Structure 1
Amino acid sequence: MSENSAAEYEQFGPIAVITMNNPPVNGLGLALRSAIVALVDRALADPQVSAIVLTGGEKIFSAGADIREFGEQKQASAPTLHDVIEVVEACSKPVVAAIAGACLGGGLELAMGCHFRVARSDASLGLPEVKLGLLPGAGGTQRAPRLLGVERALNLIVSGEPERAKNFAGTALLDEVVDGSVLDAAVAFARSVVDGKLAPKRARDIKIDDPHAEPLLQFARTTVAAASRQFPAPLQCVEAVGHAVSKRFDEGLRLEREIFMGLMATPESKALRHIFAAERAVSKLPDVPADTPLRDIRRVGVIGAGTMGGGITMTFADAGIPVVLLETKQEALDRGIENIRRNYAASMKKGKLTQAQYDQRLALIEPTLDYAALADVDLVIEAVFEEMSVKREVFGRLDAIAKPGAILASNTSMLDLNEIASYTKRPQDVIGLHFFSPANVMRLLEIVRGAKTAPDVLATCMNLARRIRKTAVVAGVCEGFIGNRMIERYGAASNLLMAQGASPQQVDGALQRFGLAMGPFRMNDLAGLDIASAARKRKAASDPSSQGRVVADVLCEMGRLGQKTGSGWYRYEAGKRDAIQDPVVDTIIEQFRRENGITVRKISDQEVIERCIYALVNEGARILEDGIAARASDIDVVYLSGYGFPRHRGGPMLYADTVGLPNVVRALRRFAAEPGAEAWWEPAPLLVKLAEAGRSFN
């Protein structure tokens, strides 16, 4: 065996085997691209070699572009992926791709450039570029329709979803599907090609002869345009496949490249690529090495069987982890277990759960009224009432009962985790695990790192988040951490807009048209107005300069707490979640304005967006200054995963970069200069510093 750094070269009789070797996913970076070309040339120059097998080994073929080169010169340096595929496709000796594991994006485009393809049945084949706001830019939109047919290729490219190799058996994409060693099978296949003196089969030479292609493309244009209004890439994928049908191969390839470069420049693609990188960066903690030993989490305890505790319990049961669910009263415990049963039964009715899965998950949950049942759990999470006195009692009992090395976690959304940790003799084992409701559905998990939280506790919880399929973001200790600290400013901005003349419907409508899943007043109704009201009262007790009484407090005093009481900012009919405008609220708002001497003014939708989003951004900058978040992109992940921020905007901090930080600073200074303006409108020093230096958050 000989090596060319990023790829290895072996010879089995007349068959040369080139094995890609760029861990962890054989990303097609410059070194690997160069190595493939050099080794193909070597095989071509050797008269003893009659055919070539290109493989990534038995675990993975290639997951496509090397993300470590994103934004670097290497990404566009020759040989490009186009060059590599051209070299392989033009090779005068047959080239067989041996596909195992992931064969995605550029990896599949490279495989389609080979003359033959042998795949293990469980290999994963796909073209996911659309999820980055792009299309397959190395011939994927031109070769896939020739190998799969127009309809199948459209589905693969527009959805971006991978499929198992066995599903492609019988198509021109795969010449052979096997269950054993793919390398052995590919070498044997290459020998048969040589023995049979078969000429290389090139995808570019296949003619598309489908009388239904044009009607199918027109149907796809209509449906895709309606389904992806905010994203240009899916429709452009359809157009590129259309070029495969109507143009010569080389012309289609040229047009595909033009479309690809155009999409690269769109804000939507920039946002999606930012999210892709941000979601991978979020797990990297500078002071917690990747090889930090992890604590073993085999059994979990949850204290509190209410909405949050029940959702957390289901989250662990869904991941196959046994849970001890503790309540203090039998009635509350029974109610909690019944809610869990009802939720699982609803999933089963929708076909998302089988009877066996339903039974298995319920069997993993052990209800109890006795703290002693938590003595052998590896992690316990409290989800009790959000009052420090209650937390103090719970953690005092846990400190006495939990085994040494057990992780003690709080689901608090606002309270001081360091104070909570001080109620134990093991603050190094205390951490915040802030789930978002409903916990079994929402992806976001804020992991709150206390001043004394041990590195292995943090690393263990980050690893656990992956096991339970959550997107974890580490936050420091402050009131509200990342998400709720920022949402307080967002809520204050929306309340100010409403007091000065905008209706709740206008504010919600403007922000929903901006792309948010829900406006602030509808979100308030969903969460419960009493939660935010209690937080305001708690803050007012310790900080007299904080926001005074607002309209939401009046609604709370009337018993209008949101969806759970059938009325809040809106009215709700039984069994429905539709927000219905209520004239009673309009009267209350008008009365509040009169009592506070507020002169109503006309407010534009653009002002609604600027005030609410820039309030988020400004507080996000302060969070970065305070070291509560490690990166601006971590803040974006929080808002994308937990608060319904539109993906095509990339998160509040990236949106600020897109608008231009000098423009954000200018607007904030205008708001701060208004008579009686709150101090928090003043631009954060970090924001000003970056704007003046011509820099951005990301």
Structure 2
Amino acid sequence: MRQQRVRLERDGDIAVIVIDNPPINAGSAAVREGLMAAIATLKSDASLQGAVLIGAGNTFIAGSDLREFGQPLAEPQLPTVIKAIEDCSKPVVAALHGAALGGGFELALGCDARIAAPGTVVGLPEVTLGIIPGAGGTQRLPRIVGIPRAIAMICSGERVGSAAALAAGLIDAEAEGDLRAAAVGHARQLTGRKQRLRDRAVPAAGASAIADASAAALKAGKRRPQVQAAIDAIVATASVAIDDGLADERAVFQRLRVSREALALRHQFFAERDSAKHPTLEAAKPRDIRHIAVIGAGTMGSGIAIAALDAGYEVLLLEQEAAALERGATRIHEHYASRVKGGKINAAVAAACEARLTTSLDWPRIAEADLVIEAVFEELGVKQQVFQRIDALSRPGAVLASNTSYLDLDAIAAATSRPQDVIGLHFFSPANVMKLMEIVRGKASAPDALATGLAVGRKLKKLPVLTGNAFGFVGNRLYAAYRRQCEFMVEEGASPEQVDAALEAFGFAMGPFAVADLSGLDIAWRMRQAQVATRDPAARYVHIADRLCETGRLGRKTGAGYYRYPEGASRPQVDPAVAALIAKARSDKGIAPRELVAEEIQRLVMLTLVNEAALLLAEGVAERATDVDVVLVNGYGFPRWEGGPVFWARERGAEALRADLDELGALSGPGFVRGDVNQLLDTKA
């Protein structure tokens, strides 16, 4: 027997139906059963004139229980619950607080009115999980906001705050004071009346407005099938009876929820949720962080400062040279000015953020900071000198963090007298935009220092992933293996543009050679040079990228890298000089080029990432297998709808992977280290 998750309380003649399914009141089978029983009581009890639906704890219903989505859904399903509410002759008011998302918001749309506490967010994010709203969201929302706005909201998974929701008519009122009392009062005002959204007409919209909204949604949604399906369901509201529309919507939802893409997106959802769990740090209390010092006012340092300002921290931006500091301050000011101009934030918010910023050349002011983040040039000697200075000036107990992307954190920490306070905070560029943040554990890093890094990452609205200290940590180690395999394939016969096209077709935001040109070929060149002393001389090494750098082709910043970038050209251009350089490199090694098709390019890349993931897990650099998928999706443009290499490996299975890795080892040549993929296949890893 399922545990009771819904209880009915009475406030005079109003039933207060309380959903109590912690921690987020997910819309599970037990919740649906409880709601059906409560509505049945409401209908049969003559002393009750109406009802209020309200969530216990901190939220209404923040979504459905996604664990149910991979199996047959238990009855009653959500459309049945909503139909019972609509068919009940007595009014039902949804009292929203915290979040009303997905099925939770669909349930609210099925009620006669919606009252929300200030700060509540509402939305239908199903498309981001590979499905469409399946309990009337595509049919009822357009009846409030119209078809074009419904397309924009549903296809983006937009979350709307209570103030904007009130202005749009998504809620009927914001509660002043006690939410429950306000909702009960509203239910009494509705006594004897029903005001169902299903009975409203869909506001008229021009064909061009619908077409424009659809085109924008498809472009932003990468033309994924669930985006098109959502558009079709929403547009149908103008011409299809609501019961037919509801039936069609549900059929599409049921089909999509068991699709591979939906399974991959749910895998990523759970992987991101699990990445925040760290049993070894549960007892560690984060240090109090109010004031952050950022050392280095370049692009990365400025981005980190913006992220910290947005999160409400006091920020001190430090530099050694006045010109560099002025450029950083200007960059931050222009960022906020552009956000205001674009309507992303209001001027008062921007002014408050900038007011929390102090720029200075006075390094002793580091003593004011609770957290110091170094963001200087990626060279070990430079960072060690900076940390010696930080150590001398920082207050006792301050957390000292390096934004290094691949250097040895322990070697950096050794430059201080307090390695226990040193952690890595690896931001991804642009730091104020990218969600991923690697929290690097040094051998001496104190648990509370690491817990502080995780807490700050969450406050910055990042996805903080805990990693061990190894060259490149998780992300750049994976990317180095990926890039290396792509270089192998170019040496074997593929062209850079062929590899890029194959991987962009797979779903990567950009191919590896276009990315290399964008970030600068000299960055990876420096990394390779740093590894010369430790590289296995017998290991296969491709010299093509080095030759490009030696000729001054460093990417977009020099107008040429793997591609040419003529002034005024909108796209990179294939360069015959690169083809000639590659042909000579093959000839020097006696390599006869072979043909590689897109499918082989994609498969070899995935196998390389799977193998490297297994090595990272075995070495303790990655804490759990699924962290690999979180890192690649959120930091490196891996297509979210493909789940990640660990998801791919689990789909492929042990026997096929063993044969695949035999082939990968033979192609990769000397220096290939084979990982034990069995631990990736363990779903508990």
TM-score (ref. length: structure 1): 0.88
Asked whether the equivalents of residues 7 and 19 of structure 1 are also in contact (C-alpha less than 8 Å), the reply is yes
Q: Which of 177, 182, 187 does residue 185 from structure 1 map onto? A: 182
Per the TM alignment, residue 433 of structure 1 is displaced from its structure 2 partner at its CA by 0.6
Distance 1:175 1:438 in 2: 39
**Offset from partner CA, 1:38-91 (integer Å, 9 cap, x none):** 333444444432322222269633223134x44587x83333323432333333
Q: Are 2:564 and 1:571 aligned?
A: yes
Conserved 8 A contact 1:130-1:233: yes
Partner residue, 2:545: 552
Report Cα offsets for 1:161-217 as digits up to 9, x if no partner.
2334565669986565654434323322333333xxx2444445x274777699987
Separation (CA, whole Å) in 2 of partners of 1:15 and 1:440: 48
Residue of 294, 302, 312 corresponding to 1:310: 302
Q: Which runs of 5 or more residues in structure 1 are unaligned?
A: none
What aligned pairs does 1:195-210 form with structure 2 within 5 A after superposition?
Answer: 198-204=192-198, 206=199, 208=201
Q: Residues 524 and 661 of structure 1: is their aligned pair in 2 closer, same or farther, counting only changes over 3 Å? A: farther
Q: Look up the match of 1:62.
A: 61
Asked if the contact 1:528–1:562 (Cα under 8 Å) also holds between the matched residues in 2, the reply is: yes
Q: Which moved more, 1:418-427 or 1:599-608?
A: 418-427
1: distance between equivalents of 2:347 and 2:660?
Answer: 56
The whole-number CA distance in structure 1 between the counterparts of 2:215 and 2:569 is: 31
2:623 alignment partner in structure 1: 630
Change (3 A) 1:209 1:287: closer
Secondary structure, in 3 states, of the residue corresponding to 1:103?
Answer: strand
Q: CA deviation at 1:152?
A: 4.9
Deviation at 1:237, TM superposition (A): 1.8
**1:371-426 deviations in Å (ceiling 9; x for gaps):** 32212211112223333333332223322321111001111111221232233332
Contact 1:665-1:683 at 8 Å conserved across structures = no
For residues 609 and 424 of structure 2, what CA distance do their matches in structure 1 show? Answer: 23
Match of 1:238 in 2: 231
* Residue of structure 2 equivalent to 1:471: 463
Tell me which residue corresponds to 1:99: 96
Aligned ranges for residues 460-539 of structure 1 at < 5 Å? 460-539=452-531
Q: Which moved more, 1:385-394 or 1:412-421?
A: 385-394
Out of 596, 604, 618, the position equivalent to 1:611 is 604
Q: Which residue of the partner structure matches residue 298 of structure 1?
A: 290
Q: What SS does the aligned partner of 1:55 have?
A: strand
Q: 2:146, 2:204 within 8 Å by CA — same for their partners in 1? A: no
Cα separation, partners in 2 of 1:343 and 1:244, compared to 1, 3 Å: closer
Q: Deviations over 1:586-606 (max 9, x none)?
A: 222122222222212222122
Q: Give me the whole-angstrom Cα distance separating, in 2, the residues matched to 1:149 and 1:412.
A: 48
Match of 1:644 in 2: 637
Q: Is the 8 A contact 2:143 2:203 kept in 1?
A: no
CA spacing shift, 1:18–1:347, aligned 2, 3 Å:
closer
Q: CA offsets, 1:536-563, max 9 Å, x none? A: 1221212333554611111212222222
SS of match in other structure, 1:502: coil
CA distance in 2, matches of 1:17, 1:374: 54
Correspondent of 1:392 among 381, 384, 396: 384
Matched, 1:88 2:85: yes
Counterpart amino acid of residue 664 in structure 2: F
Cα distance in 2, alignment partners of residues 222 and 384 from structure 1:
42
Q: CA deviation at 1:36?
A: 2.6
Distance 1:587 1:637, change over 3 A: same
State the alpha-carbon separation in 1 of the partners of residues 359 and 202 from structure 2: 63
Deviation at 1:481, TM superposition (A): 0.5
Contact conserved, 2:53 with 2:92, CA < 8 A, in 1? yes
1:132 is matched with 129
**Residues 1:71 and 1:385: Cα distance change in structure 2 (over 3 Å):** same
- How far, CA to CA, are the matches of 2:156 and 2:276 in structure 1? 27
CA deviation after TM superposition for structure 1 residue 647, in Å: 1.9
2:43 aligned with 1:51, yes or no?
A: no
Structure 2 vs 1, CA of residues 219 and 280 (structure 1 numbering), >3 Å: closer, same or farther? same
Aligned to 1:383: 375
- What is aligned with 1:23? 22
**Which residue of structure 1 lines up, in the alignment, with residue 252 of structure 2?**
259
Q: Structure 1 pair 33/406, CA: closer, same or farther in 2 (3 Å)?
A: same
Kindly provide the amino acid, as one letter, of the partner of residue 534 in structure 1.
R
Q: Please, what is the CA RMSD of the aligned residues?
A: 3.2
Is the 2:128–2:157 Cα contact (8 Å) retained in structure 1?
A: yes
- How does 1:425-440 map onto structure 2 within 5 Å? 425-440=417-432
Q: Could you list the runs of 5+ residues in structure 2 that have no partner in the other structure?
A: none
8 Å contact kept, 1:243–1:255? no
Structure 1 partner of 2:363: 371
CA distance in 1, matches of 2:99, 2:680: 40
| Secondary structure, counterpart of 2:281 in structure 1 | coil
Is residue 596 of structure 1 aligned with residue 595 of structure 2? no
Counterpart of 1:684 (choices 675, 678, 684) is: 675
Of stretches 500-509 and 80-89 in structure 1, the one that deviates more from structure 2 is 80-89
Distance across 2 between alignment mates of 1:165 and 1:662: 52
Q: Distance in 1 between matches of 2:113 and 2:354?
A: 49
Q: Is the 8 A contact 1:85 1:113 kept in 2?
A: yes
Q: Tell me the CA shift for residue 120 of structure 1.
A: 4.9
Which residue pairs with 1:672 in the alignment?
665
1:619 CA displacement? 0.3
